[in-house]
């Protein structure tokens, strides 16, 4: 039996990059009876960038409802909130002490802020809190606490899983072989989905399509997809952003037909209408479930509370082994 674990940090509304890159692959894996799945809302990770308690509550709720609306079945998956697992934060501290500072200096999220600060000529650590700096250690704790074998994520998280493996090895070598070495599970076709402007879709670039926006919002986002200036009647490049997004939602047959239409000069305006149709019919049933959970949030809270109880049974066991290995418990 393999343990599968992944989390999403609620720093904004779930978008289709999160869905196709992480949520859907994780949910697909959970239908395999050989896998024991632990999926969670990485709410304490979001503290590194959120400004208000209202944002914290709103985005956490959005991600929780999103997981369920996308098909997470709480009978097959242990579904919980990171902040309900105190063992995680104890392990985080212990792991801090086997992690060389240099490893954190090389972590890409921190490095990206440092590079930006250098370009802007401000202090290199401006806007860097210790939560951001130590982010990969808490993420390692999330993973190692549950003896995780596989972590389904998008490509941008690969380095974090490598760091978790490094930290597990440092601990195992210094004390005792307690931790399983986790591996990333990255599906090639969806490892980096493009956003409206052709760059990686990301909350931080403001180029996302919200997973559970209204129809109007979906339409608006699609209208913002950047296209070239080719006129109706002129053949369109098949590797354009619009077609990449279309392919996510379409059946094989729809994809072939759409390719033909683009090659035959379909205008961008009509192409956007077709994309809206296909995306909306894919998302509408999920949106309905999402709206249900948002208005019956007490059901979601109950699912998360039950999940935390189940998760803590494993977490306590692993933490106890760790405590014994370092000499806190005999």
Q: Which residues bind ligand TRP (CB under 6 A)?
A: 5-9, 42, 45, 139, 142-143, 151, 153, 157, 160
Neighbours of 299 (CB within 10 A): 14
Instruction: For residue 148, state whether it binds ligand ADP (rule: CB under 6 A).
Output: no
Of 100-108, 170-178, 201-209, 234-242: span binding ligand ADP (CB under 6 A): 201-209
Binding partner of residue 201 among ligand TRP, ligand ADP, none, CB under 5 to 8 Å per kind?
A: ligand ADP
Instruction: For residue 17, state whether it binds ligand ADP (rule: CB under 6 A).
Output: yes
Instruction: For residue 193, state whether it binds ligand ADP (rule: CB under 6 A).
Output: yes
Instruction: For residue 25, state whether it binds ligand ADP (rule: CB under 6 A).
Output: no
CB of 39 to ligand ADP, least distance (A): 11
Which two structure tokens, joined as six digits, stand for 26?
A: 């994780």
Which two structure tokens, joined as six digits, stand for 309?
A: 């109880």
Under rule CB under 6 A, how many of the chain's residues touch ligand ADP?
20
CB of 261 to ligand TRP, least distance (A): 36
216-275 binders of ligand ADP (CB under 6 A): none
CB of 219 to ligand ADP, least distance (A): 21
C-beta of 11 vs 243, nearer to ligand TRP: 11
Binding partner of residue 193 among ligand ADP, ligand TRP, none, CB under 5 to 8 Å per kind?
A: ligand ADP
CA–CA distance, 227 with 231 (Å, rounded to integer): 11
CA–CA distance, 149 with 159 (Å, rounded to integer): 16
Binding partner of residue 105 among ligand ADP, ligand TRP, none, CB under 5 to 8 Å per kind?
A: none
C-beta of 185 vs 293, nearer to ligand TRP: 185
Here's the x/- map for ligand ADP, 151-180, by CB under 6 A: it reads as: --xx-xx-----------------------
CB of 330 to ligand TRP, least distance (A): 31
CA–CA distance, 98 with 169 (Å, rounded to integer): 10
- Yes or no: say if 185 and 154 are a contact pair by the CB < 8 Å rule: no
Given the rule CB under 6 A, which residues bind ligand ADP?
Answer: 8-9, 11, 17-18, 21-22, 153-154, 156-157, 190-193, 200-204
């Amino acid at each position: 039996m393999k343990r599968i674990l992944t989390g999403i940090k609620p720093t904004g509304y779930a978008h289709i990059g999160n869905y196709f890159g992480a949520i859907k692959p994780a949910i697909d894996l959970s239908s395999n009876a050989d896998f024991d799945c632990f999926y969670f809302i990485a709410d304490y990770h979001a503290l590194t960038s959120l400004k208000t308690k209202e944002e914290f509550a709103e985005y956490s709720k959005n991600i929780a409802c999103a997981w369920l609306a996308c098909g997470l079945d709480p009978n097959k998956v242990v579904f919980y909130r990171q902040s309900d697992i105190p063992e995680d934060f104890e392990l985080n501290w212990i792991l801090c002490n086997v992690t060389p500072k240099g490893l954190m200096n090389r972590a890409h999220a921190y490095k990206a802020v440092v590079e930006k600060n250098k370009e802007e000529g401000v202090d290199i650590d401006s806007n860097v809190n210790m939560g951001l700096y130590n982010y990969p250690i808490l993420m390692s704790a999330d993973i190692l606490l549950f003896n995780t074998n596989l972590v389904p994520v998008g490509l941008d998280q690969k380095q974090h899983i490598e760091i978790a493996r490094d930290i597990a090895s440092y601990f195992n070598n210094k004390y005792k072989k307690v931790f399983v070495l986790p591996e990333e599970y990255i599906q090639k076709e969806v490892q980096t989905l493009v956003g409206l402007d052709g760059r990686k879709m990301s909350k931080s670039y403001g180029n996302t399509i919200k997973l559970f926006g209204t129809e109007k919002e979906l339409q608006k986002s699609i209208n913002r997809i950047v296209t070239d200036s080719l006129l109706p009647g002129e053949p369109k490049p098949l590797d354009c952003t619009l077609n990449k997004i279309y392919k996510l939602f379409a059946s094989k047959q729809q994809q072939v037909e759409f390719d033909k239409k683009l090659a035959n000069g379909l205008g961008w305006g009509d192409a956007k209408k077709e994309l809206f149709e296909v995306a909306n019919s894919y998302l509408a049933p999920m949106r309905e479930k999402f709206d249900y959970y948002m208005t019956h949030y007490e059901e979601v809270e109950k699912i998360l509370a039950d999940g935390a109880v189940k998760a803590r049974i494993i977490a306590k066991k692993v933490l106890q082994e760790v405590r014994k290995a370092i000499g806190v418990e005999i």
